[in-house]
Amino acid sequence: MPDPPPSSFVPWDALFNNPLFAGGLGLAGLGAAAALARRSAIQGASLIKRRLLVDVEISKQDDSYNWILAWLSLPRAPGGFITSKLTRIHHLSMKTTSRGSAQTRPANTHFFLQSGYGKHIIRFKNAYIQVNREKQSSANMTTGEPHETVTLTTLYAYRNIFEDIFAEAHQLAMQAQEGKTVMYTSRGAEWAKFGEPRRKRPLQSVILDQGIKERIVDDVKDFLLRQQWYVDRGIPYRRGYLLYGPPGSGKSSFIQALAGELDFGVAMINLSERGMADDKLAHLLTKLPPRTILLLEDADAAFRNRRQVDADGYSGATVTFSGLLNALDGVAAGEERIAFLTTNHIDRLDEALIRPGRVDMTVRIGEATRHQAAQMWDRFYGDIDEGRKGREKFLQKLEELGLIGEGVRRHTSTAAIQGLFLFNKDNMEGAIAMAEGLVPQMYEPDPEQLEGGIKARA
């Protein structure tokens, strides 16, 4: 007789004939089939979605982010934003902008309704679009502000509608900035808009000495027309200007007015600002916003690092002289750039900084002259000064004080003259009578106090 099978051997027939095993196997099979069917359905739906839908994601770091939010706030039908029948945005957020004090000037406070976080449905040119605005888990390491995105989704057949949306949003943004100058400042290692865009300052409102303004403006406009000329000759396409002179002479005002004339923005960097290091400066100059004038204020600040550490441990600005030179004209220096440097102390600047290629034009904007005083008088009192008699009296008074003319003994600034005129609005005689206030007040110590101080030191 054959040996019996080992006790560990179980016949397959007996195993499958076991009702408990067969039932469990059947349930497991059904579960696997259901999971497979569910996965296939999800993949199929995802495939159909990819085929039928198209979306575009806009990051908050992109300029078009605020354009799209402003575009979404527009009413799509008569009756306003909230009651619009074509717009299905039910969750809103408020953005308030104010100019001046909200208590004293409430008329300059504007309330701006924009789409809130979440999903919304809008209709634009017969296309239904889902808008999803959400915050991301990541945040800006410098400001701590969370990243945001806006995603627009529509049917693939209407994919070209995005071009119309961005074109309309861009046009809306340009209309909002029309007649204004956008100011930029450094925020960390990036550029950020500095407040609300400012009303463009007319170029004729800045009064410089005869011929100075026209000389700079003509040179800048000629530079903007000669990009191909620079490229053909292998010359870096950038232009540098140095404006120097005493405070209040109109250097910064002229640059702002020039930006308005050219329809440019102004990107400002203060070299004396703490935390402005060489690498940060170089990075900012390679990422200038398009169509902007670079304004480097206090250019002499980079030379303070050559001195010894002060008693408080501060050795001046952290931008070094070599760092400034490399940022302006180094290997990594950017192109397509118009840069203006300003300083009140040109004697502190090194010849290496103001050589051609870094600074192509150096212009002194100095103390007020007879020409400037006359032009400013006409701007303030030209409509009420018949026969220019008041102007002649004012100019004669300034000559007697030694502020203008051939016998200049003292100097005053155009800012001081403007302050005098602002104090005497529509009052020519008051401005003439108070002209002596333009004479710089020099400190003269009391003789008795001076003598006492000498004895004390002795």
pLDDT tens digits, one per residue of 138-151: 666 555 567 888 89
CA distance 293 to 256: 9
Q: For residues 87 and 73, is the Cβ–Cβ distance under 8 A?
A: no
pLDDT of residue 254: 93
CA distance 46 to 41: 8
Q: Decide which of 68 and 23 is more confident.
A: 68
pLDDT digits 0-9 by tens, 379-426: 999 889 888 889 999 999 988 888 888 777 788 888 999 999 999 988
Among the residue ranges 5-9, 117-121, 256-260, the one predicted with the least confidence is: 5-9
Q: Decide which of 309 and 183 is more confident.
A: 183
Phi-psi region of 405 (alpha: psi -120 to 50; beta: other; left: phi over 0): left
Domains of the chain, start order: 53-178 (no CATH), 198-364 (3.40.50.300), 370-438 (no CATH)
Q: Which residue has the tokens 């750039």?
A: 337
pTM of the entire predicted model: 0.69
CA distance 48 to 127: 19
Task: Name the strands in the sheet holding 118-124, side by side, starting at the edge strand that comes first in the sequence.
Answer: 53-59, 146-155, 127-139, 118-124, 87-88
Q: Strand pairing partners for 98? A: 109
Q: For residues 177 and 88, is the Cβ–Cβ distance under 8 A?
A: no
Closest to 272 (Cα-Cα) out of 299, 294, 311, 250: 299
Closest to 165 (Cα-Cα) out of 237, 253, 69: 69
Question: For all residues of the chain together, what is the average pLDDT?
Answer: 77
CA distance 417 to 399: 14
Report, as an integer, the average pLDDT of 74-95. Answer: 51
Closest to 269 (Cα-Cα) out of 199, 357, 339: 339
Q: Strand pairing partners for 427? A: none
Q: Decide which of 278 and 103 is more confident.
A: 278
- What confidence category does residue 277 fall into, taking pLDDT thresholds of 50, 70 and 90? confident
Report, as an integer, the average pLDDT of 225-252. Answer: 90
Query: Residue 81 pLDDT more than 50?
Result: no
Between the alpha carbon of residue 89 and those of residues 118, 121, 234, the distances in Å are 10, 6, 54
CA distance 50 to 153: 11
Query: Residue 92 pLDDT more than 50?
Result: yes
Tokens representing residue 365 in the block: 């904007």
Between the alpha carbon of residue 374 and those of residues 1, 245, 396, the distances in Å are 136, 20, 11
pLDDT of residue 443: 40
